[in-house]
Structure 1
């Protein structure tokens, strides 16, 4: 994979383990990675860092993944930013709710390196293509 396809990816999860494994997988795929611990942290970093794609955990303290995604999508500057939800539950209801707030995709934890990189390839390039 050449560096021209390197994307800026923000991973939002209150679990240090998940953040670290996502970071390792994404860096192995040649991408730039930024980490956030919760929704508020994520919103500040999206503003500063302007990622191509966001992976966002659903169950987080203070601001959950649905709320975080909804805020991102309501902001005109970031409405096109693809958001992939991460959850340890593989529920139909959760997936539907994720779509309602505008997320592109839903990955169940623990995810594999392939799943993560495939999502980046699929949605990240779509974002940079639209810019």
Structure 2
């Protein structure tokens, strides 16, 4: 943490540099665009195409934050999030659900399985980075 009382936007940008982020999405386009946006901010990005692949990567890389698509084959985002949040080692890792659905039911279901935030696709660079910063601030405050 900085000694200054009010962080500038430059300090915000450096705050996410060095974060290890796991991005789980079966869409190659979403994985590539989000990875590019986050890498440019100095994040280390690990990608997975589904929940099964992600669960192995979580144990190997121990990410600081996880983005997970809701609609995926084999193991969907709700199931993946529930498994992560039911693991004592990883339950404090923020999970942000990614989806093209913006319904109240989907958001509620995400909360039930333990998601920390919800980001609707397609998202902008600012929305993606804001979601990361919001989770960092929430984690720091907890």
**TM interval, short-chain normalised:** over 0.9
Q: How does 1:48-63 map to 2 (within 5 A)?
A: 48-63=60-75
TM-score between both structures, scaled by the size of structure 2: 0.85
2:4 corresponding residue in structure 1? none
2:129 corresponding residue in structure 1? 117
- Offset of residue 121 of structure 1: 1.4
Gap runs ≥5 in structure 2: 1-12
4+ runs deviating over 4 angstroms: none
- Offset of residue 125 of structure 1: 5.2
1:2 to 14, 23, 44: 14
Gap runs ≥5 in structure 1: none
2:26 to 14, 39, 49: 14
8 A contact 1:39–1:63 mirrored in 2: yes
Task: Give the whole-Å Cα distance in 1 for the aligned partners of 2:138 and 2:59.
Answer: 20
Q: How does 1:27-106 map to 2 (within 5 A)?
A: 27-106=39-118
| Residue correspondences, number | 130
TM-score between both structures, scaled by the size of structure 1: 0.92
2:10 corresponding residue in structure 1? none
Larger RCO: 1 or 2 (CA < 8 Å, sep 6+): 1
